[in-house]
Every structure is written in C-alpha cells, then in structure tokens.
Chain A
C-alpha cells in the first residue's frame, strides 16, 4: 500500500510539473487531462473514492474540454484576422 502511495505521489508530482512547464497551450491541455486522471487514481489509492469520481469527470474531462473549446474559439479569431490581412 505504501509503495503504491509513494509511486502515485511521484507520478502526480512529475505530471503536475510537466503541465506547469509546458508552454504550448494545446499540449498543456492534453497534459492537464492526463494529470487529472492521475490525480483521480491518487484519490482512489488514498481511499477517497467519492472525490476520485468527481475528479475523473471534472478534472480529466470537463475542464480540459472547456480549455480546448476556448482555444478553438481563439484560433478561429486569429485565422479570420490572418485572412483579412
């Protein structure tokens, strides 16, 4: 049990660091989604299945989706500016 806890904590730390140090927003969203999934596994290993449930959907799906959709919207704007020029 302790081995699993330590392992998942290290993974979460690495993934969290990776999300912070990623510069490209698109890659960052993918990383964020993966980080969310790892976080859910961490909650599960630390015997908090209730939190893990919400984390899977909110952290790994809904938040990345919103960021992704925002990026698409921004890109459409940029593209139309480029086309105008």
Chain B
C-alpha cells in the first residue's frame, strides 16, 4: 500500500464518515432537550416507589437491576481474565526484595512530601468510600463508585511506602473470596425475590424512611454487595499487576545474574 493510496483511502473514508455523522447529528434532539418519557417518569416516581433520592442508583440497582448484574459480571470476568494472564508461570522465579529499574540498586524511598500527603488522604478516602457505598440510594455514588474509591486506599499505601507495605495490608485470598461473595451475592439477592413470590431482583426488603441510610430496600443491599465486589476486584487486579512487575522474574531477568 503506497502512501498516496493510503492518504486517498483515508480521505474517502473520512468524507463518508463526516456525511453520516453530520446527518446523524442533524436528527438529534437539541442540547438539553430530553425527548423520552422514561427519565421524567422515573424522576417523578423513584422517591415514591423506592424511597431513593438518587434516581441513578435506583435505576441501576432496581429498575434495571438485571442489566447491572450483567455489567457486574463483565467486571468479574475481566478481573479473572487479567489474573489468569498475569499468573505465576512455570519458570517464573520470585525476586525479593523488589528491584529498581537500574538493576544494581534497591528502589529509592518515596519522597516525604508524597508520604505526608498520602497518609493525610488515606483515612478521608476510606471514610468517603464507605460513605459513597452506603449512601448510594441517597446521594450521587453507589456500589461501583464507592468500591473504586475504597480500592484506591491500598494504592495510596503503596505510593507512601513500598511493595512490602502493600503486601501486608492486602491478601489475595481475602480479595478473591470478597469478590466472589460480592458478585454471587448480587445474583443470590435476585433469587431470594423468588422466595417471596416476586420477579427476579424485585425489591423484597422494607423500603424504610426516605433519607435514612437503611432505606431503599434491596437497592442499599445490592449497592453494598457491588461495593465489595468492585473494591475486591480492583485490589485483586493491583495485586497481580504488582506481583508480575515487581516480584516475578523470568530466568535471565534476575538482578543477581548481571551484577557487574
């Protein structure tokens, strides 16, 4: 393929794309003019029907809870897939302690400024994460958002200290079990609905007082389970990435071999 042909091919494709794109834009509703009825209906009904003031979480974990179950398992599967790819292979050796890129010295310690800022942020982040998970039905946020916020706490510990600190506060087994309990718990919550004679994932817990932490019925429960699954999943991902980068070495990659 010559350069000239490639440019012509690109220009032709871009022109075609532009035509259809502009055509599509032309038919969109105006900026800020929501056309469909569903958003308005849910905005009006979610406080009354589900005692949830955050309509988005009510939609995610109740009105279209089954879709979110699928999304949850997308995350679950991708974490499992990444873990499979990053597993310890037969000829991998564990290196200890983790090395710096310049292979004849240990990793330099983190600067004091980063440590102080990180440690100051640590507690607020954990509290904010728990708040975001538990108040999903009341304020913006929910299981997914709170879960990722919680998962950034071990990351901050790694930034402030080193891999040893990270290793001490995380556990591969606990993260695995927590992820499984979170993901499985979501599916089982739906099954419990059957016991009450409802449809799959239909709300069966008393809705409680609007504005309370324990309100919204299964919305709050599923939000907590999702928070557990997401936090554990991302921690699991970090554990395997760190292991693969810092600990596992193929033969010939060890530090000792090339010490000049």
Q: Which A residues are closer than 8 A to B by beta carbons? A: 49-50, 53-54, 57-58, 61-62, 65-66, 69-70, 72-73, 75-77, 79-80, 83-84
Contacts and interface: CB of A to CB of B under 8 A. Distances in A.
B202 interface: no
Contact of A75 (B101, B148, B152, B241): B101
B140 A49 contact: yes
Interface residues of B, number: 29
Contact of B149 (A49, A57, A77): A57
Contacts, number: 65
28 contacts: A50-B54, A50-B56, A50-B57, A50-B141, A50-B145, A53-B132, A53-B140, A53-B148, A53-B149, A57-B145, A57-B151, A62-B152, A62-B234, A65-B241, A66-B241, A69-B242, A69-B245, A70-B241, A70-B245, A72-B101, A72-B245, A73-B245, A76-B245, A76-B249, A76-B253, A77-B250, A79-B101, A80-B250
A62 B237 CA distance: 10
Contacts of B237: 62, 66
Interface of B: 54, 56-57, 101, 103, 132, 140-142, 144-145, 148-149, 151-152, 155, 234, 237-238, 241-242, 244-245, 249-250, 252-253, 257-258
Contacts of B148: 53-54, 57-58, 62
A79 B103 CA distance: 9
Contacts of B57: 50
A62 B141 CA distance: 18
